[in-house]
Amino acid sequence: MEWTKDKFYRMYEEYNGMVYRLCMLYLKNESDAGDAVQDIFLKMWEKEPVFANEVHIRAWLLRTTKHTCLDILKSGWFKRRADREPDLQQIPQEQKEEYCLLEKVQKLPEKYREVLYFYYYEEYSVKEISAMTGIKESTIQSRLSAARKQLKMMLETRKEEEI
């Protein structure tokens, strides 16, 4: 199947939101996430991978996104620059709670962040997550359970701090 601009644009329109959210989960910064999204779709354009079906497209994008973000996080440039935390005063009130929850999710270990993100944010089933990541369904379920427990403890600690 030959790649055309129209095909590429359709894929970009369909999947850029998913890729951006995953980049945000790893990089925790809007400009870095935007740059990573561009890099990922540029790789897709240059490599012109052949996909068997939609699951294969998603799996390729998820793996490529993960590896691109990890490469950015390991880079000397990224480690040397100052972290830019968003100013909570600039975030609209209705988005602050969602931001605080996402901030807690980002503090979880990577293996828990990933499954929570795929399950709750992208609304994949355990079976779909397993197919995309190559991780056993039982392991996905265990990680979801452990992630929920850790997140619950973090949120309870936050509430106690606010009192």
**Pair (76, 132) in one structural domain:** no
Q: Which residues, in sequence order, are CB contacts of 3 under 8 Å at separation 6+?
A: 45, 48
pLDDT at residue 70, as a whole number: 86
Tell how far CA 104 is from the center of its chain: 14
> For residues 147 and 115, is the Cβ–Cβ distance under 8 A?
yes
pLDDT at residue 99, as a whole number: 59
Number of structural domains the chain divides into: 2
**Pair (5, 47) in one structural domain:** yes
> For residues 137 and 64, is the Cβ–Cβ distance under 8 A?
no
pLDDT at residue 96, as a whole number: 54
pLDDT at residue 49, as a whole number: 85
Show the tokens assigned to 138. 């039982």
What does the alpha-carbon distance between residue 25 and residue 72 come to, in Å, rounded to a whole number?
Answer: 13
pLDDT at residue 145, as a whole number: 95
Which residue type, as a one-letter code, is found at position 130? S
What does the alpha-carbon distance between residue 37 and residue 12 come to, in Å, rounded to a whole number?
Answer: 10
Domain boundary among 85, 113, 144: 85
Question: Per-residue pLDDT averaged across 93-99, rounded?
Answer: 57
Residue at token pair 């969602």? 98
Domain boundary among 37, 59, 85: 85
Q: Kindly report which listed range (23-27, 41-45, 71-75, 88-92) carries the lowest average pLDDT score.
A: 88-92
**Pair (152, 73) in one structural domain:** no
Q: Give the CATH number of the domain where residue 123 resides.
A: 1.10.10.10
**Pair (73, 107) in one structural domain:** no
**Pair (40, 99) in one structural domain:** no
User: Domain limits at 2?
Assistant: 1-85
**Pair (23, 76) in one structural domain:** yes
**Pair (45, 105) in one structural domain:** no
**Pair (78, 94) in one structural domain:** no
Whether pTM exceeds 0.85: no
**Pair (75, 116) in one structural domain:** no
